[in-house]
Amino acid sequence: MNAMLETPELPAVFDGVKLAAVAAVLYVIVRCLNLKSPTAPPDLYFQDSGLSRFLLKSCPLLTKEYIPPLIWGKSGHIQTALYGKMGRVRSPHPYGHRKFITMSDGATSTFDLFEPLAEHCVGDDITMVICPGIANHSEKQYIRTFVDYAQKNGYRCAVLNHLGALPNIELTSPRMFTYGCTWEFGAMVNYIKKTYPLTQLVVVGFSLGGNIVCKYLGETQANQEKVLCCVSVCQGYSALRAQETFMQWDQCRRFYNFLMADNMKKIILSHRQALFGDHVKKPQSLEDTDLSRLYTATSLMQVDDNVMRKFHGYNSLKEYYEEESCMRYLHRIYVPLMLVNAADDPLVHESLLTIPKSLSEKRENVMFVLPLHGGHLGFFEGSVLFPEPLTWMDKLVVEYANAICQWERNKLQCSDTEQVEADLE
């Protein structure tokens, strides 16, 4: 009799379990999607100067809220995953010409050249020289989207194709791109300077490309000639300091590390004959390469230690990371420099962001921009669910470049006025 009286209570118990399960799922969704995170303008780190005040007035995106898509845009992981898998939505197909340069060691470097589609806002000839992220090239969707937008704002664009990254271009020497080798980027810049002697340059680097362009500018003062400014987006500044964080499971960095290492292995092995074939005249450092270790590598550090550092004869992984990182070159850059990272970038540990923060506190030419959201090269914008084709990052880089061009034009006009007044006296 008692059992019969208790039976009707069982559905209530099950309902309670269901409610608890739903609540748990909703909690996980809210936490994973970071829905409670606020939207805000990016944090800015800079020294008060005439240039910084002009930039704040001329670049509204620096002081406006960056508003990512409501449902998923506050998750750095989803922003990063969408960039990695999809690149961009409704990406355009800008028309360009592929250029080939034979390097001194026999390597064939390529870049794609895109002419402007409108007159620049200051009426000058300006070329953006662009270095993509790791294993990327001009055919990647995020590059195509950015190039198309820059062209429509009056910029000529030259986009480096990392050595070995294009699947239809064979290697012609036993070498491919590395973390900080600036040879191919420098060759592209020299080609642009020679072909367009009146042009001025805006230097742009994404992720690994940010490291390369900053290192290139800091290597010698001559590399900064005709350069108006430089923009670096989502780089990590120091591979030596980053390697420890890449082995941590915090923010799933160890998983991202594995995915990037797997991609690098595929690229290297697709060029195995050109790099390791018996008929190839290899440098001594590559002779002892054990491909079996490459097959079993599960991290970028293992790939770098077994193969990448040997392309340039480094004796150790530590030496390779120290020499190839831009951190030791940043203080030698004298042109206006904007460094952009996202606070929720799962690839760049927050400890690495002390590097640009410290630099911006010491150098008047440096501005560090740190939005709360954006992931790694994501920075998607949109209302609720679907992102816009153009990202916050695309608009910010062009807006900053336009402001610097106007700043230089104003300086020139002031200088001309002062000269006229001096002549009248």
Enumerate the active-site residues.
Answer: 207, 345, 376
In whole angstroms, what is the distance from residue 25 CA to residue 39 CA? 24
Helix (H, G, I), strand (E, B) or coil at 363: coil
- Residues 6 or more apart in contact with residue 408 via CB below 8 angstroms: 200, 228
Rounded CA Rg of the chain: 25
Instruction: Count CB neighbours of 14 within 10 A.
Output: 9
Q: Is 354 exposed, middle or buried (0-12, 13-18, 19+ CB in 10 A)?
A: exposed
Contacts of 251-259 with C-beta under 8 Å, sequence gap 24+, read 251/76, 251/77, 251/346, 251/349, 252/77, 252/346, 253/346, 253/347, 253/349, 254/299, 256/80, 256/346, 256/347, 257/299, 257/300, 258/298, 258/299
Q: How far apart are CA 407 and CA 180, in angstroms?
A: 31
SS3 of 54, please? helix
CB-CB contact of 129 with 192 (8 Å): yes
> What is the edge-to-edge ordering of all strands in the sheet holding 366-370?
43-45, 366-370, 337-340, 227-233, 200-206, 126-131, 156-161, 108-114, 97-102
Helix (H) or strand (E) holding 45, with range, is strand 43-45
Instruction: Indicate the pairing of strand 156-161 with strand 126-131.
Output: parallel
Residue 94, token pair as written in the block: 């800008």
Give per-residue burial for 299-308: e unless 16+ CB within 10 Å, then b. Answer: bbbbbbbbbb
Q: What is the rounded CA–CA span in Å between residue 120 and residue 409? A: 12
Q: What is the Cβ-side half-sphere exposure of residue 250, based on CA atoms within 13 angstroms?
A: 10
Helix or strand or coil: residue 203? strand
